Amino acid sequence: MSAATARPELEERTTDHSGTDLGSRTILFNCDCHSFDEVEAQLIKAIRCTLSRARQISMEVHTKGSSVVYRGHRERCEAVAMVLSDIGLIVKVAQ
């Protein structure tokens, strides 16, 4: 009896594709009002990356004007954007 109720739950989990927001991304834009150290520290906090990765991203933002710093569910992208914008960084969440 419990197996009968567990089975439909399992099927729902494996066939549910409602997470269509996986295509969201957080974009960080260049600005001259923050140091590399400030940006890197905030990136480490926001996306939980290494200092080396934060340096790569900050250099890309500096040289190209922007960089996609995170891809995933929209809610997580928005959370990353909020952490980055806490110090006044310019960010955008896009589909």
pLDDT, position 8: 38
Write out pLDDT tens, residues 10-34. Answer: 333 333 334 455 799 999 999 989 9
Instruction: List, in order of start, the domains of the chain with CATH numbers.
Output: 21-94 (3.30.1390.10)
pLDDT, position 20: 53
Say if residue 44's pLDDT is above 70: yes
pLDDT, position 53: 98
Average pLDDT, stretch 42-62? 98
Q: What is the mean pLDDT of the chain?
A: 85
Q: What residues form DSSP beta bridges with 12?
A: none
- Confirm if 87 and 19 have CB atoms less than 8 A apart: no
Q: Distance between CA atoms of 29 and 68, rounded to whole angstroms?
A: 9
